[in-house]
Amino acid sequence: MTSLRQFVLCLAATFFVPWLCLVVIPHAEMKAGPAETWTDEDLGKTYSYPAGTPNIFRRGQAVYAAEGCASCHTQMIRPTYLGFESWRPGFGKEGTIEKPVRTRETLPGDYAGERFAYLGVQRIGPDLANGGYRHDEAWHHVHLYAPRSVRKFSTMPSFRHLYIKRKVRGQRSAEALPLHGEFDPGEGYEVVPTEAARALVGYLMTLKKDAPLPPAGDDAPEGDGDAEEG
């Protein structure tokens, strides 16, 4: 009986201790708290970290998860000691959108407020940690509908089921995708995004996880009286 009791206790400890160290303690330490707010007097701008997410974020993230985007894309710029990404100027921010903040490695606080952090498991496609800086919404819609219309070498599948092909009735819709060549829907037809496509692209445009970090040392903000809910 004693041996059985010791076996059961050892078995329980074998599962409990790792769960405590790998799940419970990190969750408690990383739990979102009040945001820190400070002002850069040189630039005259006020910053908040974590910055929070707009309403479109959660709706679009649900579509992102349902479509399996995390299977091919990551949302994490690794620390320097895990790779060379931090040494690459502008990593994760290739494109035409203005880049006001220098790319930095991803930190746990960047995911504050997210129910799930879609870090991803492999980079078949580009990292999307700062995907919102790369292109405008129109480009993303065309890319989702016909990936090889903008990048001939793309291996991304088409997400045409998120779009509607319909006859043009009267004036052409302002949301109609600018498709050309073999991807043109045909004379008198247009392709427009569904609500799910709008949410997904809206989510991609919010992916700018490079918010400035609170100043450290003597320049750190005192207290959290001005802090907003994280």
Q: Are 140 and 204 in contact (CB under 8 A)?
A: yes
List of residues 6+ apart from 206 with CB closer than 8 A: 53, 54, 56, 57, 60, 132
Q: What is the mean pLDDT of residues 14-39?
A: 75
Transcribe 31-55 into DSSP letters: S--PPEEEEETTTTEEEEES----H
Return the ∠ at Cα 103 (arms to 30 and 208), rounded to 5°.
65
Alpha-carbon gap, residue 145 to 159, rounded angstroms: 5
| Consecutive H or E run containing 164 | strand 163-167
Give the tens place of pLDDT for each residue, 105-160.
888 888 877 888 898 888 898 889 888 888 899 999 999 999 999 988 889 999 99
pLDDT at 219: 46
Q: Tokens 């490695």 appear where?
A: 105
Give the side-chain half-sphere CA count within 13 A for 48.
Answer: 14
Give the tens place of pLDDT for each residue, 45-77.
777 777 777 778 889 999 999 999 999 999 988
Q: Which fold has domain 54-214?
A: Cytochrome Bc1 Complex; Chain D, domain 2 (1.10.760)
